Amino acid sequence: MGSSLLSSPVSISCQAILFDMDGILISSIASVERSWTRWAQLRGVDPAKTLELAHGRRAVETIALLCPDLDPESELEVIEDIELADNEGLTVLPGVQQLLAALPADRWTVVTSATERLARIRMAAANIPIPARLVTADRVTRGKPHPEPFLAGAALLGVSPSDCVVFEDSAFGAQAGRLAGCTVVATTFSHPIESLDAAHYVVHDLDEVAAHAHLGQIMLRLQPRSES
């Protein structure tokens, strides 16, 4: 049974927030799809299957699934260079700037399946704040849907996973956050709502989320657009 969109306001108290990047803070889906399509064509792999597997996964794991005979680290450099050269159409998603501005800088970070180099360049291009320390594909040994990335994010901020809220747009990401013991809020940016059943709450986007920080606690208010 899948999830459903939030139908009434909800308040969540937490100590830290862990954001996915692509599909939560920024939209680079056109660049991602162009880049992976180009890589698939270079390697003689079905582009449609490639795009199906790539979203929400670390590139090295996508490569290993599609081309187990190739060196994933070498191929990672190839796809990363392709992606770095393509920032066309990159946009900040609704509600992001307002939400980040309301959060203490040391109480949130980004947990992404992108490499650190790619993540920093994309966030800089989108002109959004970049945390001093991130959890990226090259900082973990197992990517989403394994909980390791979000466990690492909680540890990075010195907070228990149960005191963290995860914002995700992918089924793999929502599963990883849930397995890590975090409260998961998913958006409907990239995946059908039926696939987001690992999330505790589902909203359209971060425009439906407000934050207030006080004495080390963050109070999040999830308010459906129909209730705004």
111 and 24, same domain (yes or no): yes
122 and 158, same domain (yes or no): yes
On whether the CB atoms of residues 179 and 147 are closer than 8 A, the answer is yes
- Provide the terminal-to-terminal Cα distance of the chain, rounded to the nearest Å: 28
Q: Is position 55 within any domain?
A: yes
Residue of 20, 69, 138, 207 marked catalytic? 20
Instruction: Tell me the three state secondary structure of residue 43.
Output: helix
66 and 41, same domain (yes or no): yes
pLDDT of residue 225: 78
46 and 149, same domain (yes or no): no
| Separation between Cα atoms, residue 67 and residue 81, nearest integer Å | 18
Q: Is residue 138 annotated as part of the catalytic site, yes or no?
A: no
The residue length of the chain stands at: 228
Domain boundary, last residue among 64, 84, 104:
84
| Separation between Cα atoms, residue 39 and residue 45, nearest integer Å | 8
From first to last of its 228 residues, the chain has per-residue pLDDT tens of: 457 899 899 999 999 999 999 999 999 888 889 999 999 999 999 999 999 888 878 999 999 999 999 998 899 999 999 998 888 888 999 999 999 999 999 999 999 999 999 999 999 999 999 999 999 999 999 999 999 999 999 999 999 999 999 999 999 999 999 999 999 999 998 888 999 999 999 999 999 999 999 988 999 999 997 644
pLDDT of residue 194: 92
Beta strands in 20-151 (DSSP E): 26-27, 91-92, 108-110
Q: Is position 5 within any domain?
A: no
Residue of 22, 69, 71, 106 marked catalytic? 22
pLDDT of residue 57: 87
Beta strands in 15-147 (DSSP E): 16-19, 26-27, 91-92, 108-110
Is residue 150 within a helix (H) or strand (E), and if so which, with residue range?
A: helix 148-157
- Residue in the block written with tokens 């089924």: 171
65 and 173, same domain (yes or no): no
pLDDT of residue 1: 46
